Chains A and B, each alone.
Chain A
Amino acid sequence: MDVFDKLKILTDAAKYDVACTSSGVNKKAAAGGIGNAAASGICHSFSGDGRCISLLKVLMTNACAYDCKYCVNRKSNDTPRASFTPRELAELTINFYRRNYIEGLFLSSGVLKNPDYTTEQMIEALRILREEYRFFGYIHAKAIPGTDSGLIAQLGMLTDRMSVNIELPSQSSLQMLAPDKSKHSILAPMKYIQNRIQENSTDIIKYRHAPKFVPAGQSTQMIIGATPDTDFQILNLTEGLYKKYKLKRVFFSAYMPVAENDLLPTLDTTPPLWREHRLYQADWLLRFYGFTANELLDEHHQSFNPYLDPKCNWALHHMDFFPMNVNRASYTDLLRVPGIGVNSARRIVIARRTATLQFNDLKKLGVVLKRAQYFINCGGKVIGSLKISQDKVLRSLMSEKTLGMYHQSFPLQSQAEQLSLFEQPPMILSGFPQEDHQRCLTNSL
């Protein structure tokens, strides 16, 4: 089998992995070396599905001894198998890297023979890259659950980022669909990596040149929609992972049906991209906007509103928080306004040092007035004292089409009922607004 065939098979097998970022670390090549990394990450291309391509994302092998039901590489699946030799993979990486196709390598693998053997293969590929080619570019490696911690430690010295996939959002889902894995086998290496990162950071303070262990931190991902776990459970888990394991990122991937199995959604199920999108929005709110999971969802509201992003949804439930005076509100309060993002909030705080801001100034600062106008004022007299109906706000937050669908799902409507509409979004989502599928994850809400 030549390297073309291998690349095709092992890319195809890796493509469901979400993370492709090269962010989190700044470095440059030492003399005689090649490669640097930028903390912001660099996208080298975008694939037809709109996802960033930053790293050469492949598997070491797609031959797998495990039988996770949701995975194309599971043992019981009849699919062509291939494995890179460590040297083939290193050479491919360096040649792509020299041509500026990629920022580095994202290496994952099926379980060949056993977790330790697989990890040894991965280590050898990375060793060739780091030692022989003196490669300083970005490397993200997957820790295979069940690998000996000594090998994880070795792998960690060669990589910038590591991840252990949570795979499914609950222990019961795991038991059902990934019989060879357990919560323990996933969380143990995660904990181990976290501890090593922490130890290492104190070493680096003590000895400036102490080699770095996973300097860009660790991330994880989980599959959405293959199991009955709710948005609330998922978001809580996510928050827990950030807090307890100090993860840099949690990724979500809408389940693409790849197998006929009674335990899984049928093959003709469309992937719940809108849920994935909402989760990313909420994740963003947790990481950059100072929200907690419990503010966005709770026991009684376990699913995201399909028609409103979580921040707008929160704002509409907390009208008493508004209107906010943009000339006085604190940065953290500004972040709560729909239509004001991290950048525009920062610019507001800067610009108001030298001027009292008016509505038309806000536009220049990047505020989306169409959304924000109902939640802010500029101090002084409030324009009119118009009582804003929820419908009017909704109209400003949604396109005509979405609004139409919203009203269809929620036939009108006394004021009280209207309010309750926000509380439990319908679970029928077949006719879900197309644009939400189309939209990409935006950086600020």
Chain B
Amino acid sequence: MLDQFTLIYRYDGSFDGLLCCVFESYDKKEIPTEIILPDISQTLLFAAKEIRTDVQKANRVLASIPEKMGFDALNFIQRAFLTCAPKKELYILLFLRLGYRHGRSVMDMLADDAVHTLFKAVKHLDNESHLLKGFVRFSIFSNVLVAEIEPKNCVLPLMTQHFCERYPEERFLIYDKTHGMALVYHPYQSAIIPIDDLELPEPDEQEQSYRALWQLFYDTIEIQGRHNPKCRMGHMPKRYWKYTTEFGSSSKKSLLKLENTAKFLIP
């Protein structure tokens, strides 16, 4: 009985690893109460069950998802995996179990707890990646566009297509500080690579003057008689201000070593 309440899976943090948790859950006819990452220290009262990532098992689960519940569901849980929702792994597992039982209609079960939680999380992810498509600010250093973001969700995969289609002839880099990774692009290839740190050079004169022009535009476009900071905050929460030029923040230097990625950017 006790086991029923305390079954904890520990996986390696990869999507394949999570699929193996699903495999295990079916194989052993058990439902974990928690699925945790390797770096969660062992302060738990109960030992966690290590789930080894086995690509073959993962692939079997992966192939079964569109078959049983459609491609929408697969796409959905892939995005759910990118979210910052607490316990997303467990909810994905519960979602899939529901999907194996009910088929495609799992996507309609919006009032179910797991489905609802994941829909909310994915909506948050979609919102954040949409907002950031606008809020990303590039600085240009020797003709390479460099930007920094600090998103809550892992948004880079959802921004790739947009920025590749926007700047097909440019070389650019978007550094996600939260997750320690970067989207890098040069014509006509993109990749998401792990990066620890990045050091930006001083902006040159041209870069500085465009920043100043943008700030000037930003300050001038406001209709003073309609000043409404609450409304602005609602649309553009303060946590996004840090990296936006108009709030005078891009002079702040972050440690960003451009040479590390130069190999990729300058082929």
Contact = CB atoms under 8 A, between A and B. Distances in A.
A and B together in one complex: yes
Interface of A: 3-4, 7-8, 11-12, 14-16, 28-29, 31-36, 38, 40, 42-54, 56-57, 92, 95-96, 98-101, 103, 137, 254, 256, 270-271, 273, 347, 350-351, 353-355, 357, 361, 364-365, 437-440
A46 B166 CA distance: 21
A307 B166 CA distance: 44
B204 to A, nearest CB: 13
Contacts of A31: 168-169
Contact of B213 (A36, A92, A438): A92
B220 A96 contact: no
Interface of B: 102, 105, 108-111, 116, 130-131, 133-140, 145, 147, 162, 165-170, 210, 212-214, 216-218, 220-232, 234-236, 244-246
B138 A350 contact: no
A48 B229 contact: yes
Contacts of A364: 110-111, 116
A350 B220 contact: no
A169 B140 CA distance: 46
Interface of B is mostly: helix
B240 to A, nearest CB: 9
Given A45-B134, A47-B221, A7 B110 contact: no
Nearest to B167: A34
Given A43-B134, A355-B109, A96 B214 contact: yes
Residue of B133, B135, B168 ringed by the most chain A CB atoms within 10 A:
B168
Contacts of A137: 166
A34 B134 contact: no
A357 B166 contact: no
Contacts, number: 169
Contact of A46 (B108, B111, B216, B232): B232
For the complex of A and B, 3 pairs with smallest distance between CB atoms: A50-B231, A28-B165, A361-B111
Given A44-B135, A48-B228, A15 B236 contact: no
Contacts of B102: 354
Nearest to B161: A28
B217 A15 contact: no
B219 to A, nearest CB: 8
Given A49-B226, A95-B210, A103 B134 contact: yes
A32 B169 contact: yes
A48 B235 CA distance: 11
Residue of A8, A56, A99 ringed by the most chain B CB atoms within 10 A:
A99
A4 B168 CA distance: 30
Nearest to A437: B228
Contact of A50 (B108, B169, B232): B232
A55 to B, nearest CB: 10
Contact of B245 (A7, A16, A35, A99): A99
Contacts of A350: 108, 110
Given A33-B168, A103-B134, A273-B226, A96 B210 contact: yes
A187 B219 CA distance: 34
B53 to A, nearest CB: 33
A38 B158 CA distance: 14
B220 A98 contact: no
Given A46-B231, A99-B210, A100-B134, 19 more contacts: A4-B216, A7-B220, A11-B216, A15-B223, A16-B223, A29-B166, A34-B166, A42-B133, A43-B134, A44-B135, A47-B218, A49-B223, A50-B234, A99-B138, A271-B225, A273-B226, A347-B110, A351-B110, A357-B111
B105 A354 contact: yes
A42 B131 CA distance: 8
A439 B228 CA distance: 9
Nearest to A10: B220
A100 B137 contact: yes
A36 B236 contact: no
Given A42-B133, A48-B229, A53-B218, A98 B140 contact: yes
B218 A438 contact: no
Nearest to A101: B214
Given A4-B216, A100-B137, A29 B226 contact: no
B218 A36 contact: no
Contacts of B236: 45-46
Contacts of B230: 50, 438
25 contacts: A7-B216, A15-B223, A28-B168, A29-B165, A29-B166, A31-B168, A45-B244, A45-B246, A48-B229, A49-B231, A50-B226, A50-B228, A50-B232, A51-B226, A98-B167, A99-B214, A101-B245, A103-B134, A137-B166, A254-B226, A351-B111, A355-B111, A361-B111, A364-B110, A440-B231
Given A49-B226, A351-B109, A11 B235 contact: no
Contacts of B137: 99-101
B226 A271 contact: yes
Given A43-B235, A98-B145, A256 B225 contact: yes
